Every structure is written in structure tokens, then in C-alpha cells.
């Protein structure tokens, strides 16, 4: 039987003060806390695709919870508890209006820009002579603005400081945290036979203190290569074997969609939806080293509501 996936939730919790539906997460606001439900929606090119991907929300939530717990010695984070496979409850912080994207390799958006002849990305110089998937001499931070709707936009550190989006003191702290988190993520990935290619972090502030918020090192926020065979594939000019949702983007590109005006979202066949679900589960098992236990979809909304209520 085909599982349809959790497309959205519409709960009304006691003392709930606001609700926000993001591209993937349903966010329930309380005075001091957030309850974030990871749905099975999938977004590519900042457009939510019509069909949800079964178990994707569970994968995202459980990967993020694991790595939030494994990096809290580097930076305090927002997580308080995860009472359900699809739910995280945490501190309500004032989010910085930038996403800290860090790239160790020429891949994805950076590679597409490089192919167009661009050698500067968000104020960072990309060396001449690189091939797609080559490592940068040192990881580069290429921030984006955090859009409530539509596309996130590339922005440089200089522009962030000039516009006062982030103060100089806070920016310096964000840079330190971003590099340290990426290094830790790379170490964890290497132990699992993976390479953390690029990823993004989001931060917020509460009572004057910076916290890591949202997700970390998930397949939606990160790109991984398989380490085994990486050098050989690079030397032959072959595409890298990767675990990320980049293959979904590639499928969309081949179907004539890149989120541009006038383009229609292509129909995603059930077989491809199943392939995407399998890839998410594969990434969970590969990156965590744990077996994925599928949560039951029967009565999933009641389960989530009940588990949240016990923890409010």
C-alpha cells in the first residue's frame, strides 16, 4: 500500500500564540517555546513540491536531534526535547535573518555559478582551475538572506554588516560557530565513510546569548559524498556518488523546472517518490550509523498531538 505521507498539520494547542507553516516544518509558537513538526513536504528551488515524501519528516527530525545533542559542547542550541519521531520542542529565539552556508567543496549552487564563469560567491573568491566536486583550499562561508517567502538570496559578509543585518560582534561569533560545527560534522561524516560537502546553520538569540536553532546536518540542509571512490571518480571526471536531495533538483532540472517564473512544477511519479523516500532513509542510516525504525502512519496526527500535549 502506498503511504501518502504527512503533508501538513493544523493543530490548536492550549496557550498557542501563533502558527507558521514553512516550506517543510509546521511551527507552533508559545510564549517561551516552539513546537516544530517536521512534515513530509519536500522543497526544491524554494518551491514545495506537490507530493510529500513518506518518512522524510521523521528522518529530518531524528537526524537533527541526534546532531544537536552531539554538538551542544560547541554552541548552545534551542532543543529541549523530542517527544515524537516528527517533533522537536525548543527555546523560542529571535532568529538572525541570515543562513550560514559553509562549503568545503565546489558543488551544487557554487558549481553552477562557477560554470557560468563566476569566481566570487558571497564575497568569497573561488580559485581558478577547479573541477566540480573539488575541495576548496579552505571551507568558505557563503551566507544567504533568510526569506519568509520565495528565494533566499546570496549576500556577502560586507553587505550583511553594512546593512546592519547582524552586528560585527555577533557575526564574528557566528563565523567561529559555523566553522567549528562544520569541522565536527566532517569528523562525524568521515567516521561513517562520508564527506560533508556543504551545509547550512541557522542561529538565533535569547537573553543576549546566541543559540543554534532549526536543523543540523540533515539531508535537507547538507550534502554528503561517499568517501569510498571519491578520489578515483574525481580523477576520471565522473559525478560523485552523493547522499542529498541534489538528485531531486537534478530530476526537476531535467524535467524543465528550476523554480523560475512561468515554469510549471512537473508531476512526480509514485515510483520516484518511493526512490526519494528510500534515499532519505539510506542517508539516515549512513550518516547516523543507526537502523531506521519506521514510525506508524496510522493515526499519525493524533499521535503527534498526544505526544506534544504530554510535553507542553
CA distance linking residue 40 with residue 21, whole number of Å: 13
C-alpha cell, 44 = 526544491
Q: Are residues 158 and 170 in the same domain?
A: yes
Q: How confident is the model at residue 46 (pLDDT cuts 50, 70, 90)?
A: confident
Are residues 75 and 181 part of one domain? no
Find cell 544537536 and name the residue.
68
Among 224, 243, 262, give the residue marking a domain's end.
243
Who has greater pLDDT, 229 or 150? 229
Number of structural domains (the chain) is 2
Average pLDDT of span 204-215: 97
Q: Do 137 and 200 belong to one domain?
A: yes
The pLDDT score that the predictor gives to residue 59 is 96
Say whether 123 sits in a helix, a strand or coil.
coil
Domain extent at residue 186: 95-243
CATH of the domain at 177: 3.30.470.20
Residues 218 and 106 in one domain: yes
Note the pTM of the prediction, 2 decimals: 0.90
Q: Which residue has the cell 560534522?
A: 185
Contact 88, 64 (CB under 8 A): yes
Residue 169: other Cβ atoms inside 10 A: 8
Cα–Cα dist 222/25, whole Å = 17
User: Cα–Cα distances in Å, from 104 out to 128, 220, 247, 259?
Assistant: 16, 17, 19, 26
261 confidence band (pLDDT: 50, 70, 90): confident
Condensed to tens digits (0 to 9), the pLDDT of residues 52-76 reads 999 999 999 999 999 999 999 999 9
- 57: domain CATH number? 3.30.200.20
Q: What does the alpha-carbon distance between residue 267 and residue 264 come to, in Å, rounded to a whole number?
A: 9
Give the whole-angstrom CA distance, residue 111 versus residue 3: 35
Q: What are the angstrom distances between the C-alpha of 234 and each of 198, 224, 262? A: 17, 15, 36
pLDDT per residue as tens digits for the range 123-155: 999 999 999 999 999 999 999 997 655 567 999
pLDDT score, position 220 = 84
Instruction: Give the number of other Cβ atoms within 10 Å of residue 83's Cβ.
Output: 18
Question: Which of 117-121, 168-172, 260-264 comes out lowest in average pLDDT?
Answer: 260-264
Give the pLDDT of residue 11. 97
Judge contact between 266 and 252, C-beta under 8 A: yes
* 143 and 56 assigned to the same domain: no
Length, in residues, of the chain: 312
265 within domain boundaries = no
| Averaged pLDDT of the chain | 94
Grid coordinates of 143: 551566507
Same domain, 193 and 305: no
Per the structure block, which three cell numbers stand in for 219? 539531508
What are the residue ranges of helices labelled H in the chain? 56-70, 108-115, 157-163, 168-191, 230-236, 246-254, 270-288, 300-309
Amino acid at each position: 500500500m502506498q503511504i501518502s505521507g504527512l503533508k501538513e498539520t493544523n493543530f490548536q494547542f492550549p496557550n498557542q500564540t501563533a502558527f507558521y507553516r514553512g516550506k517543510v516544518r509546521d511551527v507552533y509558537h508559545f510564549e517561551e517555546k516552539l513546537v516544530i513538526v517536521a512534515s513530509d513536504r519536500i522543497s526544491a528551488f524554494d518551491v514545495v513540491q506537490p507530493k510529500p515524501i513518506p518518512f522524510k519528516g521523521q528522518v529530518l527530525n531524528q537526524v537533527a536531534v541526534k546532531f544537536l545533542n552531539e554538538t551542544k559542547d560547541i554552541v548552545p542550541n534551542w532543543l529541549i526535547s523530542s517527544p515524537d519521531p516528527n517533533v522537536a520542542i525548543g527555546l523560542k529565539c529571535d532568529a538572525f535573518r541570515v543562513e550560514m552556508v559553509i562549503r568545503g567543496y565546489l558543488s551544487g549552487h557554487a558549481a553552477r555559478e562557477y560554470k557560468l564563469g563566476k569566481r566570487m560567491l558571497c564575497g568569497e573568491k573561488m580559485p581558478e582551475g577547479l573541477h566540480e566536486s573539488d575541495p576548496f583550499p579552505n571551507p568558505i562561508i557563503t551566507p544567504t538572506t533568510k526569506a519568509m517567502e520565495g528565494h533566499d538570496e546570496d549576500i556577502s559578509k560586507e553587505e550583511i554588516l553594512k546593512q546592519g543585518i547582524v552586528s560585527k560582534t555577533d557575526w564574528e561569533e557566528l563565523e567561529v560557530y559555523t566553522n567549528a560545527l562544520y569541522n565536527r560534522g566532517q569528523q562525524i561524516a568521515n567516521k561513517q565513510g562520508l564527506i560533508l560537502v556543504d551545509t547550512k546553520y541557522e542561529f538565533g538569540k535569547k537573553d543576549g546569548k546566541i543559540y543554534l536553532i532549526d536543523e543540523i546536518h540533515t539531508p535537507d540542509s547538507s550534502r554528503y559524498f561517499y568517501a569510498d571512490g571519491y578520489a578515483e571518480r574525481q580523477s576520471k571526471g565522473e559525478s560523485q556518488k552523493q547522499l542529498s536531495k541534489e538528485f531531486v533538483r537534478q530530476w526537476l532540472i531535467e524535467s524543465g523546472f528550476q523554480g523560475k517564473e512561468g515554469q510549471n512544477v512537473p508531476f512526480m511519479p509514485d515510483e520516484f517518490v518511493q526512490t526519494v523516500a528510500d534515499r532519505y532513509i539510506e542517508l539516515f542510516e549512513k550518516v547516523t550509523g543507526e537502523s531506521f525504525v519506521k514510525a506508524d502512519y496510522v493515526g499519525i496526527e493524533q499521535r503527534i498531538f498526544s505526544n506534544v500535549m504530554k510535553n507542553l
